[in-house]
Chain A
Amino acid sequence: MKVRVHVSLKPGVLDPQGRAVHHALEGMGFEGVTDVRVGRLIELDVADGTSDAALDDMCRKLLANMVIENYRIEKAETV
Chain B
Amino acid sequence: MAGLRAAVITFPGSNCDRDMAVALEKVSGTAPLRVWHGDADLPDRLDLIALPGGFSYGDYLRSGAMAAKSPIMRSVIRAADRGVPVLGVCNGFQVLTEAGLLPGALLRNAGQNFVCRTVPLRVENSQSLFTGGYAAGTTIHIPVAHHDGNFFADAETLDRIEGEGRVAFRYLDTVNGSQRDIAGILNADGNVLGMMPHPERAIEADHGGIDGRALFESAIRGLVDA
Contacts and interface: CB of A to CB of B under 8 A. Distances in A.
Interface of A: 13-14, 16-17, 20, 61-63, 65, 67-68
Size class of the contact patch on chain B: 20 to 34
Interface in B67-98: 69, 97-98
Contacts of A65: 62, 65, 98, 105
A62 B105 contact: no
Given A14-B177, A62-B65, A65-B65, A20 B97 contact: no
Interface of B: 61-62, 65, 69, 97-98, 103-105, 107-112, 150, 152-154, 177
Nearest to B97: A67
13 contacts: A14-B110, A14-B150, A14-B152, A16-B111, A16-B112, A17-B112, A20-B112, A63-B61, A67-B97, A67-B103, A67-B152, A68-B107, A68-B152
Contacts, number: 37
The 9 residue pairs across chains A and B that have the minimum distance between CB atoms: A67-B105, A68-B105, A16-B112, A16-B108, A16-B110, A65-B105, A20-B112, A65-B62, A68-B152
